Structure 1
Amino acid sequence: MRRIGRRDIVAAILIALVAGAVFTSPPLEALQGLSLDILTALRWELVGDRRDPATSPVVVVAIDGETYDTPPFKGSPTQTWTREIGRVLTGITEGGAKVIGFDVIFPSSIEQSEIPFGDASFGSRLKGFDRDYLIALRKLSDGGKLVLGEILSNDHPDAPYPAQRLAVRNNVRALNVHTDTDDVIRRMPLSFSFDGKPVPAMAVELAARALDAKPETASSGVTTLAGYAIPSAVPNTLTLNFRGMGRDVPAYSFADLRACVEKGDTDFFRRAFGGKVVLLGTILNFEDRKLTSMRLSGGYDGTPGARCALPAPASTVQKARSDIAGVFVHAAFVRNLIERDAVTELGAPLRIILTIAFAAIIACAACMLAPGGALTTWLALTAAYAAVAVGAFVHALALPLTEPALAGLTALGMMTSYRFVIADREERFLRKSFAFYLAPEVINTMVNSGKMPELGGEMRNITMFFSDLAGFSSIAEKMTPAELVALMNEYLSAMTDIIESHGGYVDKYIGDSVVAMFGAPVDDPDHARHAVAAALQCRDRLAELNGSHPAFKGRGLAHRIGLNSGEAVVGNIGSRRRFNYTVMSDTVNLASRLEGANKYFGTTIMASEMTVTQSRGAFTWRELDMVRVQGRDEPIRVSEPLADKNQETQEQGIRAATYAKGLACWRARDFAKAAELFESAAGDDPPCRYFARRARALAANPPPPDWTAVNTLEGK
């Protein structure tokens, strides 16, 4: 994880502010509506709504396709339906409906027809046709049970014809809707101004009569109905809550209700309409269709209500549609008011703050993580935030959804660009400049701290690794410079790859020698075990190269490796102008001496007792001897690793056991017996041959009584 500096914090804040301000700005206000659409769809898909349509306080009487196909309406102009409409409305009112609202407008009467009919117009022949209908309207209106609808417009107003308006004593309310810039209805107007006074919209008027209350608008602009403060993100509007996607509102076919009147089934009207708000409107596939916030998942034109007299049409299966009949927009409006369930949207300040905060979190993540990790973080946080938003929307609170998500994605892109162009440029420069001189871990520490390397060190417990090619000078004399360079590059690359794969750090190359440490710069509690494993793999890898690589064939290269564990000073050591990350201590010197001691015993790897102990029993060892190396007075016990624990061959096990018996006889001054044991295993084992010679010499010339079993090695 990348460390964040002060400049990065400033950049993240600025990026979040820009992204948040852009996606909550007026030109992109459509995103607020899109959030409502997505939340409506997600709530329906994830939570749904199981309310029984029978409990709905609003029902719809639908002038539908069935009505147009059923006598006496089939083939007749709608202006001739008024008498039947009056009869059905009377039946609904007598059934106990609280109030009836018209979402259909009859702008003319059949009595006004100018079509010639004999020596007069057709309308004049039908004078008095609407008399019963107008009487029914007057009766219902006087009882407070009826409200007609109209469309207010400067260019194309649509209102009931004057006789109807007169019959209801001008008891008419506006059906206008509030359409967003993308032609989607998400909110509805609460009132309209006439002569400087607010007049409630149709749905508000119907809800007010149902609740027996009057809407009141305070000086702050908040409208209250029966104690319910209607939430308004956009002044003088209500945000629609399509909780049931239209399926929670029963829809009764006008044709069936007309037949029910003929049947005289008053009980059906009481069951269907008692205590309800009734909306009369059209449900047709080609007329008065509205796009709403249900458009993404699809809405429904209600749920077919119970039948009274006519059989149900053959095809009654409903499918979700992107648009719904306009009457269900008003039905949802009325229901939201009665059930106090309108959507509450956050005001602009809170939306901006929330969007900026989300973008800031993503910007910080993009500053700390790699692009892939930052993108994963954005996806995870967006999903988590969406879940929270859906949970809030279940309780009719609409949190902004698209604005934070898009602002966060933009912040991610901007921060990634900032890092590539500005912030990480210095990091790339440091890594590129020091990649061939410092350990990757040292570079990471330097980059994370934001500081260039400086002089200093610390005491660490480490394992030193020294290797050197045996007799390489004589081999090199027989090679051309090109051959020598190719050979050394291949050898050193192979050894370095193995060392680094086990967590080691190559300190330096000295000719054909490799100096490495385990346990620094990165802490490694198992540094001894990893160093021994690397040494064994280096031994095996050189054998492979000798057998298969063209540059090594016939060379017979062999190397010696010395391992020692202990305390050492590691850090940036050198002059003030030039220094290296390296190590200093007697632990280093002893590892170097052990590498050279291999030539006495003919071994490839020699490790000190400290390394054997710290490797924690991970390997099978053969103790070689007690030796005193040049520069040290204290003798040390040295051993050779044979293989991983319990992975040694049977021959290695027998040889190690024989060697241990011989070594015990040697230390007991039984040199003749020691010589016999060592010689029995000396066939292809250089340490046995080395000890067999020494044992025979001492058997022939016994040492003095003060002799100790310590081998003092001469030279390095």
Structure 2
Amino acid sequence: MRRIGRRDIVAAIVIALVTGAAFTSPPLQRLQGLSLDILTALRWTLIGDRRDPATSPVVVVAIDGETYETPPFKGSPTQTWTREVGRVLGSITEGGAKVIGFDVIFKNSIEQSDIPFGDAPVGARMKGFDRDYLIALRKLSDSGKLVLGEILSNDHPDSPFAAQRLAVKNNVRALNVYTDDDDVIRRMPLSFSIGGKPIPAMAVELASRALALPPETGPSGTMSLSGYAIPSAEPNTLTLNFRGMGRDVPAYSFADLRACIEKGDTDFFRRAFDGKVVLLGTILNFEDRKLTSMHLSGGYDGSPAARCALPTPAGTAQKARNDIAGVFVHATAVRNLIERDAVAELGVPQRTVLAIGFAMVIAFAAGMLAPTGAMLSWLALTAAYTTVAVSAFVHALALPLTEPVLAGLTAIAMMIGYRFVIADREERFLRKSFAFYLAPEVIDSMVASGKMPALGGEMRDITMFFSDLAGFSSIAEKMTPAELVALMNDYLSAMTDIIESHGGYVDKYIGDSVVAMFGAPADDPDHARHAVAAALQCRDRLKELNDSHPAFQGRGLAHRIGLNSGKAVVGNIGSRRRFNYTVMSDTVNLASRLEGANKYYGTVIMASEATVNQSRSAYTWRELDMVKVQGRDEPIRVYEPLTDKNQETEEQGLRAATYARALACWRARDFARAAELFESAAGDDPPSRYFAKRARALAANPPPADWTPVNTLEGK
């Protein structure tokens, strides 16, 4: 994790302020509506709403496709339906409906038709056709149970026929909706100014009549109804709460209700409409369809209500649609008002504060973490915040969703850009400058602390790795300087890549020698096992280079590797003006001696007993000898790694067993038997040949009684 400085803190705050304010500004106001749409979809998908439509205070009487296909309506113009409409309205009222609102507008009368019919127009022959309908409207209006609808417009107003307005004594309310810039209906107007006076919209009028209390407007402009202060993020509007996605409002077919009258089932009307607000409207596939905040997940044209007389038409299974019949927009508004369930939205200041807070958290994360970590933080915070927002929306509180999330995403991009251009420029320079000289962990420590490395060290348990090319001086004499440099660069690069891939750190190059450590500067509990793995792979890689690399072919390069594990002082060692991250101790010296000891036995890799003990379970080993190296008085056992555990070949297993028996005979002073066993395995095994020669010499000239089976090695 990167340390964040004062300049980074200021940058994060500025970025959060800019992004939070930008995404809640008026030009991006559509995001507020998109938040409502997403919250509506998530709530329905994750939680749903199992409310029984029968408990709805509002129902819809639908002039639907069935009505258009059912006699006496089939093939008849809608102007001729008025008598049947009056009859149905009368039965609904007798059934106990509180109030009936029209979401359909009969703006013409058949009595006004100028279509020729015989020696007189149709209208003249139909005089008095609407009389019963108008009488029904007058009675319902006088009882306060009827409100007709109209569309207010300066250009194209849509109003009921004049005789109807007269019958209801201008008891007409506006059906206009509030449409956002993206043509989606998320809110409904509460009132309209007509003649300089605020007149309630249709939904407010119906709800107030159902509650038997008029709406009131306080000094602040907030409208209240029966003590319920209607939340209005946008002035004079109600934010719709589509809890049931339209399925919580029963829809009765107008054709079935007309047939129910013919059947004489008055009890059905009482069961269906007693105490209800009724909306008469159309449910058709291609007329009066509205996009609402349900459009992302799909809404429904109500829930099919119980039927009275006609059978259910075939093929009427409901499917979610991105648009719904307009009557259900008004029905939802009425239900929200009666149940006090309109959505409360935060104002611009609160939304801005939330967006800034979200962006600030993400900006700080992007300042401290790598881009991937910052993105994961954004995803985690987005998931947590979405959970909170959906939980709040269950209780009709709409927290901004898209604005904070997008502000946070933009904050990541801006903070990464800031770091790349300004903040991390110094870090990149530092890493680039020291990458060839210091361990990555040391550079990380410098960057995190903001300080250059200082003198000092610590005791660590490590494994040292020493390697050297055998007889390289004589080979180098036959090469040009350019050839020598190219060969060494290829060789050292290959060995270094292997060492670092196993977690090792190359301390230095000494000519053709490589000095590396495992277990520092990065902690590694398995440093011995990783060092052995690197040594085996280096051995195999040099064979590949000799076989396939043009610069190596024909030169027969061979190297020797020494491994030793133990305590050592590691750290920044040197003078006060110049130092290296390196290692010091007898552990280092012994590894160097073991590298040189390989030339006596003809082996490639030799490891101390300490290294073997820490990695024995991972490899198959062969004990080579007990030796005393220069600079040490105590003899040590030395070993050769053969291969990974349980992967040795049958030949390797037999040779190792023979070697072990021969070594036991050697230590028991049975030199003749030891020579025989060593010779039996000496074909292509240099250690066996080396011991066979020594055993024959001692068999011919036995050593004194105080002889010990310790090989004292001279030189390095």
TM over 0.5: yes
CA distance in 1, matches of 2:347, 2:508: 65
The one-letter code matched in structure 2 to 1:139 is: K
The equivalent of 1:58 in structure 2 is: 58
Return the letter of the residue paired with 1:440: P
- Deviation per CA, 1:535-557, whole angstroms, max 9, x where unpaired? 23323333343344443333332
Question: Judging changes above 3 Å, is the alpha-carbon distance between structure 1 residues 168 and 463 closer, same or farther for their aligned structure 2 residues?
Answer: same
Q: 1:278-320, CA deviations, whole angstroms, 9 ceiling, x for partnerless residues?
A: 1122334554433322233333333444444556556645554
Corresponding residue for residue 524 of structure 1: 524
The residue that corresponds to 1:510 in the other structure is 510
Matched with 1:25 is 25
Specify whether residues 67 and 571 from structure 1 end up closer, same or farther in structure 2 by C-alpha distance, changes over 3 A only. Answer: same
Give per-residue Cα distances to partners, 1:394-415, cap 9 Å, x unaligned. 4433222221232222222222
* 2:7 aligned partner, one-letter code: R
Residue 44 of structure 1 corresponds to which residue in structure 2? 44
**Offset at 1:610?**
2.4
Change in 2 beyond 3 A, CA 1:655/1:78 = closer
Offset of 1:221 from its aligned partner? Answer: 4.1
Structure 1: unaligned runs, 5 residues or longer = none
Match of 1:481 in 2: 481
3-state SS of 1:615 partner: helix
TM-superposition CA deviations, 1:575-605 (whole Å, max 9, x none): 3443322212222222222222222333332
Using the TM superposition, name which of 244-253 and 159-168 deviates more.
Answer: 159-168
* Residue range with higher mean Cα deviation, 677-686 or 222-231: 677-686
Q: Partner residue of 2:280? A: 280
Distance 1:643 1:140, change over 3 A: closer
Matched residue, 1:408: 408
Distance apart, 1:437 and its partner CA? 2.3
Post-superposition offset of 1:257: 3.2
Q: How far off its partner does 1:177 sit?
A: 2.2
Aligned length in residues: 716
- Structure 1 residue 652 displacement after superposition: 4.5
Deviation, structure 1 residue 443: 3.0
Q: Cα gap change, 1:196/1:676 in structure 2, threshold over 3 Å: closer, same or farther?
A: same
Q: Tell me how far 1:18 sits from its aligned partner.
A: 1.4
Identity in percent: 86
Amino acid at match of 1:38: I
Kindly report which structure 2 residues correspond to 1:296-311, keeping only aligned pairs within 5 A, or say none.
296-309=296-309
Instruction: Tell me what 1:228 maps to.
Output: 228
1:566 equivalent to 2:566? Answer yes
Say which is worse superposed, 69-78 or 212-221, in terms of deviation: 69-78
> Aligned partners of 1:690 and 1:114: how far apart in 2?
127
Q: How big is the shift at 1:612?
A: 2.5
In structure 1, what residue type is equivalent to 2:280?
L
Q: Partner of 1:349 in structure 2?
A: 349
Deviations 1:93-148 (A, max 9, x none): 11111111222344565667789999999878876655443433332233232223
2:286 and 2:547 mapped to 1: Cα distance?
86
Task: Name the aligned partner's letter for residue 103 of structure 2.
Answer: D
Per-residue deviation at 1:571?
A: 1.9
The alpha-carbon distance between structure 1 residues 172 and 629, as it changes in their structure 2 partners (threshold 3 A), is same
Q: Name the SS of the counterpart of 2:337 in structure 1.
A: helix
Amino acid at match of 2:611: T
What is the distance in 2 between the residues matched to 1:234 and 1:62? 31
Q: Does 1:436 align with 2:406?
A: no
Q: How far 1:606 moved relative to its partner?
A: 2.4
Which shows bigger deviation, 69-78 or 52-61?
A: 69-78
1:112 and 1:360, CA in 2 relative to 1: closer, same or farther beyond 3 A?
A: same
* Cα drift, residue 360 of structure 1: 2.9
Alignment of 1:115-264 (within 5 A): 130-154=130-154, 156-160=156-160, 163-193=163-193, 198-264=198-264
The structural deviation recorded for 1:161 is: 5.2
Offset from partner CA, 1:20-41 (integer Å, 9 cap, x none): 1111111211111112122223
Deviates more, 1:194-203 or 1:319-328: 194-203
Matched residues in 2 for 1:118 and 1:651: separation?
119
Task: Please name the residue that 1:472 is paired with.
Answer: 472
Paired letter, 2:342 = A
Out of 445-454 and 11-20, give the one that drifted further: 445-454
In 1, Cα distance between equivalents of 2:293 and 2:714: 92
* Matched residue type, 1:334: V
Query: Which deviates more, 307-316 or 525-534?
Result: 307-316
Q: In structure 1, what is the Cα distance between the partners aligned to 2:211 and 2:533?
A: 85
1-side partners of 2:397 and 2:656: how far apart?
79
Aligned to 2:463: 463
Aligned to 2:610: 610
Query: For 2:561, what is the secondary structure of its paired residue?
Result: strand
Q: Deviations over 1:182-229 (max 9, x none)?
A: 332211122345677654322222222223334334434444333433
SS at match of 2:445: helix
The corresponding residue for 1:8 is 8
Tell me, in whole angstroms, the C-alpha distance in 2 between the residues paired with 1:602 and 1:664: 20
Task: Pick closer, same or farther for the CA change 1:168–1:508 going to 2, 3 Å.
Answer: same
- The reply to whether residue 536 of structure 1 matches residue 515 of structure 2 is no
Q: 2 CA distance for matches of 1:653 and 1:287?
A: 88
Show CA shifts across 1:655-678 (max 9, x none): 545555555555556666655655
Farther-moved stretch of structure 1 (202-211 vs 75-84): 75-84
State how far apart, in whole Å, the 2-side matches of 1:540 and 1:37 are: 63
Equivalent AA in structure 2 for residue 249 of structure 1:
V
Amino acid of the residue matched to residue 149 of structure 1?
G
- The alpha-carbon deviation at position 166 of structure 1 amounts to 4.7
C-alpha distance 557-76 of structure 1, shift in aligned 2 (>3 A): closer
* In structure 2, C-alpha distance between the alignment counterparts of 1:713 and 1:688, rounded to whole Å: 17
- The structural deviation recorded for 1:430 is 2.7
Closer, same or farther in 2 for the Cα pair 1:88/1:516, shift >3 Å? same
Mapped to 1, the partners of 2:621 and 2:311 lie a distance apart of: 96
Deviation at 1:60, TM superposition (A): 1.9
Deviations 1:500-522 (A, max 9, x none): 22221111111111111111111
Displacement of 1:464 after TM fit?
1.2
Question: For 1:528 and 1:287, how far apart are their aligned partners in 2?
Answer: 80
Q: Give the Å deviation of 1:65.
A: 4.7
CA deviations on 1:619-660 (whole Å, 9 max, x unpaired) are 333434443333334443333333334444455455545555
Work out the CA distance in 1 between the residues paired with 2:298 and 2:683.
Answer: 89
CA distance change for structure 1 residues 665 and 413 in 2, over 3 Å: closer, same or farther? same
String of CA shifts for 1:156-198, please: whole Å, max 9, x gaps: 5544455544544443333332222333221112234567765
CA 1:85 to 1:568, structure 2 compared with 1: closer, same or farther past 3 Å? same
Give 5+ residue unaligned stretches, structure 2. Answer: none
Distance 1:554 1:263, change over 3 A: closer
CA distance in 1, matches of 2:481, 2:572: 34
Shift of 1:422: 2.3
* Aligned partner of residue 279 in structure 1, secondary structure: strand
- 1:642 corresponds to: 642
Q: In structure 2, how many angstroms separate the alpha carbons of the residues matched to 1:284 and 1:658?
A: 96
Distance 1:459-1:118 versus aligned 2 partners, 3 A rule: same
